[in-house]
Chain A
């Protein structure tokens, strides 16, 4: 199937580690991408090809993959990391592209 499932919300205290999961059958053989979206702003790419960080993204953002689940880890969460996070995947020809439902990260 082409569905990606994320938890609706994750809460962590400042300085702790946040883990946001994304599950879907397609992830076993397709790359995952992660986007951060703050209120009133366009999404920003934070992880590509499962675990690569674009230029300018802080080193505290990590991506990992295991089977049909990918995980975005934010180590030492800061207040500015509070946002919605979306995973995304696609088939090789971009005929099917899907987003997860999004996870709201609350920084306490």
Chain B
């Protein structure tokens, strides 16, 4: 079964950093770019950017450029989201999703989400 499995919940203090992982299974990992989407509590979906899983080249949304880094380790079929200098407003669910060409580049395979809580 094609799926993306994300790492577990995190609780961090303001100013700290966090790493969220997203592991792919049951498909050719490099075929699908991975995008990251944030959802604050009770709010909508917010696009953070995407990473080319073949080349490792990232593209960041203007709103997240500077504090967010995407990376990939093809040997373990895993994409990483690193957020530094965390703020309380970074408290959210973070989703990874695969960009699937056969459905016009839509986000057709989603991870289960990783809850990140930033609190002093």
Is B one of A's binding partners? yes
Which residues of A pack against B, CB within 8 Å? Answer: 31, 33, 35, 37, 42-45, 48-49, 52, 54, 84, 86, 88, 90, 94-95, 97-102
Which residues from chain A contact B33 at a C-beta distance below 8 Å? 94
Known contacts A42-B95, A42-B112; decide if A102 and B106 are in contact (CB<8 Å).
Answer: no
Contact among A48, A84, A100 for B104, CB-based, below 8 A = A48
Interface size class of B (residues with CB under 8 A): 20 to 34
Contact among A54, A95, A99 for B45, CB-based, below 8 A = A99
Q: How far is the CA of A52 from the CA of B24 in the complex (A)?
A: 25
CB distance from B62 to the nearest CB of A (A): 8
Known contacts A86-B44, A95-B59, A99-B45; decide if A42 and B105 are in contact (CB<8 Å).
Answer: no
B26 at the interface (CB under 8 A from A): no
